[in-house]
């Protein structure tokens, strides 16, 4: 009986594991290997250069710049879409009529590709007829108009804002799921006890939402680490690397400059960061299980 | 948290309307309406652009009523812009990759839920850890691999990679779903002489439609919207998927914003349709598998 079960388990797992190991795990180790070489992407030949790529990483100002931008991105990702999503979820959870229509409109951007999102936001930031500058001019604030994506001071923030626009819906979905699992008796009881809306929000609702909050924050962090598509479309990391992220920097080094050995080393660093996040997340998983019911 | 509570939340009619409660409701409506309008501006922009001629945009800017309403952008995007080729390619990648990743996830999920063996829990974590990996960590080895097997610049690498990267989320959601089906059902089928494949296909799958629908909508949307793999694995116009086609079009027609807008809308139609018709599955999938970016 057990024998039989084991055999079926092996048969069922064979193909999924084969795909996962050949396409994800072996290439992962392969990246470690290439990070120790100077492969340029074309030549069959390459040399082992030990840890030189990692030494280069430490002294490369563009790498520390991309790291700084990725950290800024994470911080913004935790703050902007999460707080936005929470506020909208709280309002929609008040049980007002027609809230499902509003809900759908906030969800909608999640089904769009980041290629489309980036394209649309380029038109919002467009210097001549973009929405922001059009509004500023109409308000006679011409001196505030900028080439938002070409300006080194605003490029990164502009890209993050566009990305956040899409992510708000995602955070809202998760917070709404968390809110529906809070029994209304609890909030009502606290209000009968004389708690104001803000007090019951702070002492009852927010603590009970913590599993959803963990998911939202984990998602924000991991999606920040993956931030590539929208940067590629809106700025390609420019101007002057001002909107480079680690994922973008890795791509540029590997597929534009053809430093594939160096690119692999950046990939290894990305993996190390992902690993820290994974271990943190898995430790939280037990407290999240009821979200999956 | 069930489907029903997710759908119904927020649409419970308010029973008693106190004056101050009413004032609060009006406030909420106003807040939500203003927010939704601002939030929808990017989408309004893309629709406006698709309906405007280049001359109209040059003269009146993007954010005015189309004058005249111009539908030629859509046919230009479809024919001269090569939209039809890109759309076909996207379907050729997305449909098989969606079906196969779910199939493999069903097999693995069934094992982890119903045929556990010593160490299967660790193997499960090993697989679902893949959800967190930024694709950059395997970019270079996979580029090398598909070049070596002469599949560079075909649709095959995208199909294969999407199957593999879909396995973690599909395994997670299917395992959690199968765990809600009592073991006694499987055991009575075993006593009736059914083997595991028969149990899976005849007993488990017929009741798994909600989970399969969740995965189908999620996987289709993610694979359709993907942008990174096609720029790594394809080069010729013949094999571009729609999201890359959208960006290439931008290069070719740097000022034909109307054509770009039309193609962006065409590119979004399949996922918008999924969103409109299967919204509840899509949203449920986002909350269940929220960890995938």
ipTM: 0.89
SS3 at position A239: coil
Please tell me the predicted confidence (pLDDT) of residue A281: 78
For residues A75 and B203, the answer to whether their CB atoms sit within 8 Å is no
Do residues A101 and B32 make contact, with C-beta atoms less than 8 angstroms apart?
no
**Maximum Cα interatomic distance, chain A, rounded to a whole number of Å:** 80
Which residues of A are less than 8 Å from B267 in CB distance? 113, 115-116
Question: How large is the angle between the packed helices A155-180 and A99-107, nearest 10 degrees?
Answer: 140
> Interhelix angle for B209-225 vs B257-277, to 10°?
170
- Would you place residue A113 in the very low, low, confident or very high pLDDT band (cuts 50, 70, 90)? very high
Residue B113 near residue B178, CB atoms below 8 Å: yes
- Does residue A37 sit in helix, strand or coil? strand
φ/ψ region of A236 (left if φ > 0, alpha if ψ in -120 to 50, else beta) reads left
> What pTM was computed for the model?
0.89
The predicted pLDDT at position B255 comes to: 66
Asked whether the bond before B4 is cis by omega within 30 degrees of 0, the reply is no
- Judging contacts by C-beta atoms under 8 Å, the chain B residues touching residue A105 are 36, 39-40
Residue A37, beta-bridge partner list: A48
CA proximity to A114, closest of A154, A81, A159, A75: A159
- The residue of chain A nearest to residue B178, with distances taken between CA atoms, is A293
**Residue B4: per-residue pLDDT:** 41
Of B25, B267, B275, the CB nearest to A116: B267
Residues of A in contact with B163 (CB under 8 A): 19, 23
Q: What is the mean pLDDT of chain A?
A: 88
The predicted-structure confidence for A126-143, as pLDDT tens digits, reads as follows 888 888 998 899 898 888
pLDDT digits (tens, 9 = 90+) for B7-30: 344 444 445 556 677 787 788 888
Mean per-residue pLDDT for A52-81?
94
Query: What's the length of chain A?
Result: 293
| Partner-chain contact B264 A278, CB within 8 Å | no
Rounded to 5 degrees, φ, ψ at A243 are: -115, 20
Q: Which of B222, B233, B43, B236 is nearest to B156 (CA)?
A: B233
Give the contacts of B2 (CB within 8 A, at least 6 positions apart): none
Record: contact B260-A119, CB cut-off 8 A: yes
Instruction: Show the 3-state SS of chain B.
Output: CCHHHHHHCCCCCCCCCCHHHHHHHHHHHHHHHHHHHHHHHHHHHHHHHHCCCHHHHHHHCCCCCCCCCCCHHHHHHHCCCCHHHHHHHHHHHHHHHHHHHHHHHHHHHHHHHHCCCCCHHHHHHHHHHHHHCCHHHHHHHHHHHHHHCCCCCCCHHHHHHHHHHHHHHHHHHHHHHHHCCCHHHHHHHHHCCCCHHHHHHHHHHHHCHHHHHHHHHHHHHHHHHCCHHHHHHCCCHHHCCHHHHHHHHHHHCCCCHHHHHHHHHHHHHHHHHHHHHCHHHHHHHHHHCCCCC
Q: Mean pLDDT, to the nearest integer, of B40-66? A: 86
Vertex B47 angle, CA B43 and B48, to 5°: 110
* DSSP-derived 3-state class of residue A293: coil
Per residue in B81-120, pLDDT tens? Answer: 889 999 999 999 999 999 999 999 999 999 999 999 999 9
Q: Helix count (H) and strand count (E) of chain A?
A: 15, 0
Q: Are A249 and A63 in contact (CB under 8 A)?
A: yes
Q: Given CB atoms, is B35 within the 8 Å cutoff of chain A?
A: yes
Q: Which residues of B touch A116 (CB under 8 A)?
A: 46, 243, 246, 264, 267-268
pLDDT band of residue A20 (cuts 50, 70, 90) is very high
Q: Which of A214, A222, A196 is nearest to A278 (CA)?
A: A222
Q: How far is B94 from chain A (nearest CA, A)?
A: 14
Give yes or no for A281 touching B (CB within 8 A): yes
Mean pLDDT of A50-74: 94
């Amino acid at each position: 009986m057990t024998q039989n079960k084991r055999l079926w388990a092996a048969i069922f797992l064979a193909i999924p594991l084969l795909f996962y190991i050949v396409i994800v795990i072996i290439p992962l180790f392969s990246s470690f290997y290439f990070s120790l070489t100077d492969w340029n992407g074309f030549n069959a030949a390459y040399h082992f250069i030990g840890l030189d790529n990692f030494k280069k990483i430490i002294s490369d100002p563009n790498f520390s710049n991309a790291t700084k931008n990725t950290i800024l991105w994470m911080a913004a990702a935790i703050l902007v879409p999460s707080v936005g999503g929470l506020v909208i979820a709280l309002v929609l959870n008040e049980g007002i009529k027609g809230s499902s229509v509003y809900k759908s409109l906030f969800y909608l951007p999640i089904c769009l590709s980041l290629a489309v999102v980036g394209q649309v936001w380029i038109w919002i930031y467009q210097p001549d007829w973009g929405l922001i500058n059009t509004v500023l001019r109409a308000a006679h604030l011409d001196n505030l108009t900028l080439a938002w994506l070409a300006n080194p001071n605003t490029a990164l923030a502009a890209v993050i804002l566009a990305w956040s626009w899409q992510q708000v819906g995602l955070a809202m979905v998760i917070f709404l799921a968390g809110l529906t699992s809070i029994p209304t008796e609890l909030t009502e009881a606290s209000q009968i006890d004389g708690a104001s809306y803000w007090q019951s929000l702070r002492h009852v609702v927010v603590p009970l939402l913590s599993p959803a909050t963990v998911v939202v924050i984990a998602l924000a962090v991991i999606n920040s680490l993956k931030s590539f598509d929208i940067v590629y479309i809106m700025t390609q990391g420019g101007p002057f690397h001002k909107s480079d992220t680690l994922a973008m920097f890795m791509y540029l080094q590997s597929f534009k400059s053809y430093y594939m050995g160096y690119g692999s080393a950046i990939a290894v660093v990305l993996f190390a960061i992902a690993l820290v996040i994974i271990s943190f997340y898995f430790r939280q998983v037990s407290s999240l299980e009821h979200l999956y019911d | 948290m069930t489907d029903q509570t997710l759908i119904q939340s927020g649409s419970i009619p308010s029973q008693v309307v106190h004056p101050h409660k009413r004032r609060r409701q009006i406030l909420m409506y106003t807040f939500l309406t203003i927010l939704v309008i601002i939030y929808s501006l990017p989408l309004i922009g893309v629709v406006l652009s698709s309906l405007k001629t280049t001359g109209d945009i040059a003269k009146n800017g993007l954010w005015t009523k189309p004058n005249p309403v111009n539908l030629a952008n859509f046919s230009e995007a479809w024919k001269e812009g090569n939209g039809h080729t890109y759309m076909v390619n996207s379907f050729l990648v997305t449909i098989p990759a969606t079906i196969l990743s779910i199939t493999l996830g069903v097999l693995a999920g069934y094992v982890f839920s119903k045929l556990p063996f010593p160490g299967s829990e660790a193997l499960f974590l090993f697989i679902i850890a893949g959800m967190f990996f930024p694709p950059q960590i395997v970019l270079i080895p996979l580029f090398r691999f598909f070049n070596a097997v002469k599949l560079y610049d075909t649709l095959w690498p995208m199909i294969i990679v999407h199957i593999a990267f879909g396995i973690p989320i599909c395994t997670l959601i299917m395992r959690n779903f199968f765990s809600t089906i009592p073991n006694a059902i499987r055991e009575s089928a075993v006593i009736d002489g059914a083997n595991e494949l028969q149990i899976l296909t005849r007993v488990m799958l017929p009741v798994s439609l909600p989970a399969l629908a969740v995965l189908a909508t999620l996987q289709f949307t993610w694979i359709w919207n993907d942008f990174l793999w096609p720029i790594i694995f394809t080069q010729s116009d013949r094999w571009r998927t729609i999201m890359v086609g959208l960006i290439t079009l931008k290069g070719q027609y740097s000022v034909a914003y109307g054509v770009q807008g039309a193609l962006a809308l065409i590119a979004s139609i399949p996922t918008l349709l999924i969103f409109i018709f299967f919204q509840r599955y899509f949203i449920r999938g986002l909350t269940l598998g929220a960890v995938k970016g």
